[in-house]
Amino acid sequence: MVPVVSTVARIYKALNPPNVDPSPDSPPIKFGILGAAKIAPIALVDPAKCHPEAVVLAVAARDKTRAEAFAKKHGIPKAYGGSNGYQELIDDPELDAIYNPLPNGLHYEWTMKALAAGKHVLLEKPSANTAEETRKMFELAEKKNLVLLEAFHYRFHPATQRVKEIIDSGELGSVTSLSATLAVPRGFVKEGDIRFDYSLGGGALMDMGCYTLNCIRFLSGVDPTDVQDATALAHVFKTPPSSSEASLVDDTTTAHLAFPNSMSGAIMCSLGLTGWGPFSILPRWPEVAAHVQCEGGEIKLFNYPGSWAYHYITVSKRKGSGRIARTEKAYKPKNGKGEDWWTTYRYQLEAFIDKLKGRTPQHWISAEDSIANMEWIEKIYSKTGLGPRPVSSFVLS
Ligand SMILES: NC(=O)C1=CN([C@@H]2O[C@H](COP(=O)(O)OP(=O)(O)OC[C@H]3O[C@@H](n4cnc5c(N)ncnc54)[C@H](OP(=O)(O)O)[C@@H]3O)[C@@H](O)[C@H]2O)C=CC1
Ligand SMILES: O=C1OC[C@@H](O)[C@H](O)[C@H]1O
């Protein structure tokens, strides 16, 4: 098949995965979803359909009709709704695990409640509004012997893993600098979106920047030592909200970070890249790449967040006064579990279920990793002058 046809066929299968029968030997992990969130179908519903040990049994939405419509559309047997719907979901004794794709500012409260109810949690990124809240969630999970995973799905994909493998192989020598971008053109994210609501933990650095930071921290293998500079452009609302805190929502943030061993890092994230050319009318493409400079060459991973749909890895190695370059693709691990059509979310679900079943996942994101990511988000926000996102008022009784 020509590449474009095979790519379309692979993406089609990824978005329409086959239904698999439940495993006769291993009871499925039964999930409940908090909120009829836009991300839930691709992040959990579809991956669960093609995992023999996962089933989505229930969904809750603030509005019962919305929960029922979501349940009907996705073949989910139970729907909870109304003012107590989220709590009823969490208290459902049939459920083993909760997927939390609520707005960032509600991650802490509902993850704490789910853990307190004895449920494992697959938690959307970024973990919470603050590092302290993230620490508390992981402490409770550990105390209750429950699995809590921040859903940085891209980490589980073979493409990201392959780049890390190339770096760690030493083929290109030591890393000298890293950068990652995640930015979408203006208009991509609509005005009333949770991403522009400060009270819900909005802002480009929270939404997109958490990936960029996570990516350079993962690929470098260490945490930064300092935020050298950070600049944020505030979002300009068409209809400015009455709250003065709306001015703390960043549209675009850039930061330069120092790393150990004289490594440097740079991130850029945006919820609204402006157009270019006369009067900025020419459209921009999303920016979705990670670059790693090494003493002996460089690596580019194009489309690390959406690597399942399409990506390429270019490895350019210095040789004498010239270079030798190659391009790799990694939709499936060379050794290990996976199919070329598995989405980043499907790989993530595999790891989550492996962990719950006592098997060793191919990859994992530790509590320390998630806490450190939030710490550095806070440090960058602090350097921009915008300050951290609001602390949750929730107290676990
Ligand atoms: N892993 C990934 O690739 C992605 C992750 N995300 C993350 O997932 C989360 C949700 O994002 P997304 O699906 O795009 O967002 P949505 O706005 O579609 O979903 C958020 C859900 O939160 C619920 N909710 C509860 N309280 C509120 C409130 N006060 N205001 C608004 N919504 C509320 C709503 O549920 P209800 O149905 O009950 O009304 C809604 O369905 C975020 O944390 C985001 O960072 C988002 C996109 C991609
Ligand atoms: O997690 C995400 O990944 C893709 C982005 O477009 C989105 O805003 C973000 O929430």
201 and 246 share one domain: yes
CB-side neighbour CA atoms (13 Å) of 177: 7
Q: Ligand 2: distance of its center to the CA of 382 in Å?
A: 22
Which ligand does the CA of 189 lie closest to?
Answer: 2
104 and 161 share one domain: no
pLDDT truncated to tens, each residue of the chain (397 aa)?
568 999 999 999 999 999 999 999 999 999 999 999 999 999 999 999 999 999 999 999 999 999 999 999 999 999 999 999 999 999 999 999 999 999 999 999 999 999 999 999 999 999 999 999 999 999 999 999 999 999 999 999 999 999 999 999 999 999 999 999 999 999 999 999 999 999 999 999 999 999 999 999 999 999 999 999 999 999 999 998 889 999 999 999 999 999 999 999 999 999 999 999 998 899 899 999 999 999 999 999 999 999 999 999 999 999 999 999 999 999 999 999 999 999 999 999 999 999 999 999 999 999 999 999 999 999 999 999 999 999 999 999 9
* Domain end call among 136, 153, 170: 153
Q: Ligand 2: distance of its center to the CA of 323 in Å?
A: 35
What are the residue ranges of helices labelled H in the chain? 3-15, 40, 46-49, 64-74, 85-91, 104-116, 131-143, 158-169, 204, 210-220, 344-356, 367-384
145 and 207 share one domain: no
Atom of ligand 1 nearest to the CA of 104: 43
Q: Pocket residues for ligand 1 (CB within 6 Å)?
A: 35-39, 43, 61-62, 66, 101-104, 106, 124-125, 151, 153, 194, 200, 207
264 in any annotated domain: yes
By CB neighbour count within 10 A (0-12 exposed, 13-18 middle, 19+ buried), where does 243 fall? exposed
Orientation angle between helical segments 104-116 and 131-143, nearest 10 degrees: 20
191 and 298 share one domain: yes
Strands in 29-34's sheet, in edge-to-edge order, are 78-81, 54-61, 29-34, 97-100, 120-123, 148-150
33 and 62 share one domain: yes
| CA–CA separation, 265 and 172 (whole Å) | 18
3-state secondary structure of 205: helix
Structure tokens at 119: 């449920």
179 in any annotated domain: yes
Pocket test for ligand 2, best of 207, 252, 344, 348 (most atoms within 8 A of CB): 207
45 in any annotated domain: yes
358 in any annotated domain: yes
Q: Which residue type, as a one-letter code, is found at position 200? A: L
Q: Ligand 1: distance of its center to the CA of 102 in Å?
A: 4
* Domain end call among 117, 133, 153: 153
Contact assessment for residue 125 and residue 152, using Cβ atoms and an 8 Å cutoff: yes
211 and 117 share one domain: no
Contact assessment for residue 378 and residue 210, using Cβ atoms and an 8 Å cutoff: no
- 124 is in which domain, residue-wise? 15-153
390 in any annotated domain: no
Pocket test for ligand 1, best of 73, 102, 152, 182 (most atoms within 8 A of CB): 102
| CA–CA separation, 257 and 200 (whole Å) | 27
| CA–CA separation, 18 and 122 (whole Å) | 23
Domain of 75: which CATH number? 3.40.50.720
Atom of ligand 1 nearest to the CA of 61: 38
Note if the bond before 333 is cis, omega within 30 degrees. no
Q: Ligand 1: distance of its center to the CA of 158 in Å?
A: 27
| CA–CA separation, 161 and 68 (whole Å) | 38
Q: Which residue type, as a one-letter code, is found at position 75? A: G
What integer pLDDT is reported at residue 1 of this predicted model? 53
Spacing of C-alpha 140 from chain mean position: 22
* Domain end call among 153, 176, 211: 153
Atom 22 of ligand 1: nearest residue by CA position: 102
3-state secondary structure of 386: coil
What is the torsional sign of CA 258, 259, 265, 268? negative
Structural domains counted in the chain? 2
Characterize the bridge pairing of strands 120-123 and 97-100: parallel
Q: Which helix (H) or strand (E) holds 256?
A: strand 250-258
Atom of ligand 2 nearest to the CA of 271: 8
102 and 244 share one domain: no
Q: State whether the beta carbon of 96 lies less than 6 angstroms from ligand 2.
A: no
- Residue from 356, 365, 362, 354 nearest 337 by CA: 362
359 and 316 share one domain: yes
164 and 147 share one domain: no
Give the residue carrying structure tokens 């203006």: 186
Q: Which residue type, as a one-letter code, is found at position 346? A: R
Structure tokens at 133: 């809240």
pTM value? 0.98
320 and 222 share one domain: yes
- Residue from 200, 182, 207, 195 nearest 273 by CA: 182
Q: State whether the beta carbon of 124 lies less than 6 angstroms from ligand 2.
A: no
Domain of 226: which CATH number? 3.30.360.10
Angle in degrees, CA 17, 22, 25, rounded to 5: 140
What integer pLDDT is reported at residue 165 of this predicted model? 98
| CA–CA separation, 53 and 69 (whole Å) | 25
Angle in degrees, CA 272, 104, 353, rounded to 5: 115
Structure tokens at 146: 């429950």
88 in any annotated domain: yes
Question: Which residues does the annotation mark as catalytic?
Answer: 125
126 and 244 share one domain: no
What integer pLDDT is reported at residue 3 of this predicted model? 86
Longest dimension (CA), the chain: 68
397 in any annotated domain: no
268 and 360 share one domain: yes
Spacing of C-alpha 191 from chain mean position: 22
10 in any annotated domain: no
Give the residue carrying structure tokens 């290109």: 172
Interface predicted TM-score (ipTM): 0.99
